[in-house]
Amino acid sequence: MAEYWGIKVEDIFNTMQERFRPEGAKDVDAVFGYDIKDEGKWKLTVKNNEMKIDKTSDLAGCIATMEADGETFVGVNTGKVDATNAFMSGKVKVEGDMGAFGKTGKLFRKYVIAQKEMTVKDYLADMFATVVSRFKAKEAEGLEASFAFDLGGQEGGKWTVFIKDKVCTVTTTIEGKPTVTLEFNDAKDYVDFILGKIDAQSILAAGKASAKGDINMMASKWPILFEKYKDPMGGNIPEQELIVLKKTISVNQKFSTGPIMGKFLKGLKDKKIYANKCPQCGRLQLPPREVCAECRVRAADFVEVGPKGEVRYMDLVYYAMPDPLTGVARETPYGGINILFDGCKGNETLPHFIRKDQIEKIQMGWNEKKGTRVRPVWEENRTGDIWDIKYFEIDE
Amino acid sequence: MAHKKNRNVGIIGIGQTKHSSHREDVNQPELIHEAVSLALKDAKLTMKDIDCVVHGNMELFEMVHSPDLWHVLGTGAYGKECIRITTGGTVGATISCASDNLVASGMYDIVMAIGFEKLQEGHTTGGITNMACPLWFRKIQAGALTGSSAYDVEREFGVERADKASLTYRIIMDKHAGLNPNAHRAFGLEFSQIDDLIRTSPKLVGNLKLIEMCSQSDGACCVIFACEKKAKEIAKTPVWIRDHITVHKEENFNIFGYDRKFPVLKTHKFAAENLFKRNGITDPINYFDVFEMYDPASWWAIDWIRDFFGLKGDEHLKLIEDKEIMIGGKMPINPSGGVIGSNPIGATALIRVAEAAMQVRGNAGPHQIPTPVNHALASGFGGTMWTVMTMLEKELNW
């Protein structure tokens, strides 16, 4: 089985049980499928706040199945791959009920990549193994020198870094007479010093380390000759924590309607739908507005239209958009319809909503085809608001 | 007759940030400053040379009142004339028009336009919804998504052809975005994925799918405008603004009657016809060498190509199907990857002008059109079908 970032596809599935969040599984009663290319198929059953994961050959009966390759699957689960991008670009696909699959996002805690602890020995091995790759040859023009490291303690050791003819080599011994020799009583202090956890002054002052020979070569030349050692465990930690402030705004607002819009809203209170008529071009405006924008004249004559009409266009909305008044995502799918009321013509339509269980039955009309006939369903307590009409329903 | 100008105006400096949804590393003034300093560097100017700053972004998308005050740290407008403009999706194009007008009038010699948005800090759908009439429509509307363009194209050309054209356009934009180092989204899509994406990309509204919709980006764009005399002194290749047009409609969407006896006035078509007529351009598809179009979704884009160029029947679909809108094609559209590739809304329409000007200069980078670009077109879109169009020229010879 292939590994991605040191993780196998099976690791993700095998840890699902321990990462399971029962609080995220409330109201979930479904079987989800995972089809991971070249890796296999898994079936996730969620019921009664419990889960079961099985490797399988048959994904029949799953409400939704996720398809991806192993790298993308591991990447998305570990945060190495941007899930939105993978999904949008088709690297992750969901067959079946997309809305249901969305619930799997809350079922599990994130898979955390196990960070292997690096010992002092691991660090020393890595530090000297990367010396040659960190060497900047162009800074070593005409330089011949050797830097010896004598690092004590159980995990310590000896190293010499030679520079000659702009070439850098490393040995694990100290021979002859190095240009400069750095001695640490405890190799751990050297590692901490290189990682920036302690400073050289305090170690030297405490007598825990000493330098012999051309000290200036070590203090001044070494940092120019070699790129700084990067901690493989801490590569992603920014120097400064970047704080993001979170705010929620909630404000009361009021708006004067004026006499024209006011007449329309008052009409709704009385279960009547009023349009106004342009005295010049004769078009109706719904809802009524103060002037006809096309003719630039005041329009103060009202005409009662509807309340029944025909659907000319419906937006079938799947994406959960937030209700602007509450911030809460609307329940999807819903149907936003444009109604041509009896008495209106052309583009004199009014947008509103259709009864949820009737979305599938709606036909959109045009010249040759009548759209579905609808009628308003009124609120019992009306206040002069567009929501005095709860929604429209089919007029059979 | 084109707009009467007291003097010619040229673009002499352009800067834009990398557009992204992950700019938690900077605050708003810092993000703006990135674009401003790049534009100044491009023009080899300093803030001392700028006479006036025109600042634009979406109204209250980040819920910051008078953002030009806070942003003064990044715009460099301290102690200078600074004008804030906000006109919705078109704002980036509008600040370009305003800068052109301010210089052409003789009021200022050098004007800097800055378009900006940090969409991750606000609430885009909430912002758009709050633009709707508070007396009634705010309660009905939710965001800028509609499936009506898909419905229209499908009705006219059949579902199969329409779907394929939309995805072909989308993948062309992705390929262009892949060449543009500043683009937000470049997935590496292939034409072989068309059928797959039609089937699997989640539907948002009607047949408008997730893959077909633009992104929500953080980013800023800055363009410096100068009068002819200064432009010629400062810039090696100033890009001349020949003309621009802005067309608004009323605030209501009175477009859903679907009755042939009552055709809907389409502002893009109306604007293009008027702009080309007054500039004596009879064959725009052959006249222009590149078009940077404000394309919020691939469905709108494929429909609008016909409106902008006055094409007949299915000529616009053929352009897409034959990939003539790709870099190297007959009418390259959005070599930058377009709005589908990057959408920091307040900057988006200014990026259209900036990218079109970069193509004219010939230094757009990896997404430069290989053939000479002498005439470029840019469009902006917003509100309830509002249009701004800008014509750019390499030579002062019209």
Contacts of B203 in chain A (CB under 8 A): 318-319
Task: Give residue A236's pLDDT.
Answer: 46
HEC string for chain B: CCCCCCCCEEEEEEEECCCECCCCCCCHHHHHHHHHHHHHHHHCCCHHHCCEEEEECCCCCCCCCCHHHHCHHHHCCCCCEEEEECECECHHHHHHHHHHHHHHCCCCCEEEEEEEEEHHHCCHHHHHHCCCCCCCHHHCCCCCCCCHHHHHHHHHHCHHHHHHHHHHHHHHHHHHHHHCCCCCCCCCCCHHHHHHHHHHCCEEECCEEHHHECCCCEEEEEEEEEEHHHHHHHCCCCEEEEEEEEECCCCCCCCCCCCCCCCCCCHHHHHHHHHHHHCCCCCHHHHCCEEECCCCEHHHHHHHHHHHHCCCCCHHHHHHHCCCCCCCCCCCECCCCHHHHCCCHHHHHHHHHHHHHHHHHCCCCCCCCCCCCCEEEEEEEECCCEEEEEEEECCCCC
Can you read off the two tokens belonging to residue B248?
Answer: 């608004």
Determine what percent of chain A is predicted with pLDDT higher than 70: 95
* Domain residue spans of chain B: 9-124+217-226
Instruction: Note whether residue A39 is domain-resident.
Output: yes
Chain A residues in contact with B151 (beta carbon < 8 A)? 313, 364
**CA nearest to A239 within chain B:** B25
Q: Does A90 touch chain B (CB under 8 A)?
A: yes
Are A156 and A48 part of one and the same domain? Answer: no
Question: Do A55 and A84 share a structural domain?
Answer: yes
A160-169, A243-252, B43-52, B73-82: which has the minimum mean pLDDT?
Answer: A243-252
Task: State phi, psi for B27 to the nearest 5 degrees.
Answer: -90, -175
Q: What tokens appear for B17 in the block?
A: 């940030």
Per-residue pLDDT tens digits of chain B, which is 398 residues long: 567 889 999 999 999 999 998 888 899 999 999 999 999 999 999 999 999 999 999 988 888 889 999 999 999 999 999 999 999 999 999 999 999 999 999 999 999 999 999 998 887 777 777 788 889 888 887 667 889 999 999 999 999 999 999 999 999 999 999 999 999 988 889 999 999 999 888 889 999 998 999 988 999 999 999 999 999 999 999 999 999 999 998 888 889 999 999 998 899 999 999 999 999 999 999 999 999 999 999 999 999 999 999 999 999 999 999 999 999 999 999 999 999 999 999 999 999 999 999 999 999 999 999 999 999 999 999 987 899 999 999 999 98
Distance from CA of B163 to the nearest CA of A (A): 16
Mean pLDDT across A60-66: 91
Residue A64, both tokens? 């939704």
**CB B323, CB B168: distance < 8 Å:** yes
The residue type at A29: D
Establish if A15 belongs to a structural domain.
yes
Place of tokens 């199945």: A65
* Residues spanned by the domain of A96: 3-106
Neighbours of A167 (CB within 10 A): 11
Q: Which of A213, A231, A249 is the last residue of a domain?
A: A231
Q: Look at A255 and B258 and tell me if their CB atoms are within 8 Å.
A: no
Q: Give the gap in angstroms from C-alpha B352 to the nearest C-alpha of chain A.
A: 24
Tell which of A177, A196, A231 closes a domain.
A231
**Chain B contact for A351, CB < 8 A?**
yes
* Angstroms from B260 CA to nearest CA on chain A: 7
A330 Cβ neighbours under 8 A, 6+ residues apart: A317, A320, A321, A322, A323, B142
Which residue(s) pair with B382 in the sheet? Answer: B386
Q: Do B140 and A340 touch (CB under 8 A)?
A: no
Torsion angle defined by CA atoms of residues B361, B364, B369 and B373, in that order, rounded to the nearest 10 degrees: -20
Termini Cα distance of chain A? 61
Phi/psi region, residue A244 (left: phi>0; alpha: psi -120 to 50; beta: rest), is: beta
The tokens describing A365, both together, are 């009309």
Domains of chain A: total: 3
- In chain A, residues 314-343 whose CB comes closer than 8 Å to chain B: 315-319, 321-325, 327, 330, 336, 338, 340
Categorise residue A242: left if φ over 0, alpha if ψ from -120 to 50, beta otherwise.
beta
* A247 contacts in chain B (CB < 8 Å): 63
CATH number at residue A166: 3.30.1050.10
Tell me: do A29 and A100 sit in the same domain. Answer: yes
Residue A246 belongs to a domain: no
Give per-residue pLDDT as tens, A271-311: 999 999 999 999 999 999 999 989 999 999 999 999 999 99
Please report how the helices B267-278 and B298-309 are oriented relative to each other, as an axis angle in degrees rounded to 10. Answer: 30
CATH T-level topology, domain B9-124+217-226: Peroxisomal Thiolase; Chain A, domain 1 (3.40.47)
Q: What is the per-residue pLDDT for A327?
A: 65
Rounded to whole angstroms, the Cα distance separating B335 from B344 reads 17
Instruction: Report yes or no on A114 lying in a domain.
Output: no
- Is residue A40 domain-resident? yes
Report whether pLDDT(A326) > 70: no
Question: Which chain A residues have a beta carbon less than 8 Å from that of B193?
Answer: 90
- For A176-215, write each residue's pLDDT tens digit: 889 999 999 999 999 988 888 877 777 877 778 888 888 8
CA terminus-to-terminus distance, chain B: 12
Nearest to A89 among B189, B258, B262 (CB): B189
Question: What is the model's pTM?
Answer: 0.80
Question: Cβ of A89 and B63 within 8 Å?
Answer: no
Average confidence (pLDDT) over A232-244: 67
In a domain, A331, yes or no: yes
Contact between B257 and A336 using a beta-carbon 8 Å cutoff:
no
Q: Angle at CA A45, nearest 5°, toward A41 and A48?
A: 170
CA A77 to chain B, closest CA, distance in angstroms equals 19
Report whether B384 contacts B250 (CB < 8 A): yes
ipTM: 0.90
pLDDT number for residue A210: 85
Among A364, A375, A298, residue whose Cα is nearest residue A341: A375
Closest Cα of chain A to B262: distance in Å?
5
Does residue A183 sit in the same domain as residue A284?
Answer: no
**B26-51 burial by CB neighbour count: b if 16+ within 10 A, else e?**
bbbbebbbbbbbbbbebbebebebbb
Q: Which residues pair with B46 in a beta bridge?
A: none
| DSSP 8-state assignment for residue A157 | E
Q: What is the mean pLDDT of chain A?
A: 88
DSSP H or E run through B292: strand B290-292
> What percent of chain A lies above the pLDDT cut of 90?
50
8 A C-beta contact, residue B364 and residue B347: no
Cα–Cα distance for residue pair A310/A367, rounded to 1 Å: 12
In total, the C-beta contacts within 8 angstroms joining chain A to chain B are 147
Q: Is B367:B335 a contact under the CB 8 Å cutoff?
A: yes
> For tokens 């470049």, what's the residue?
B186
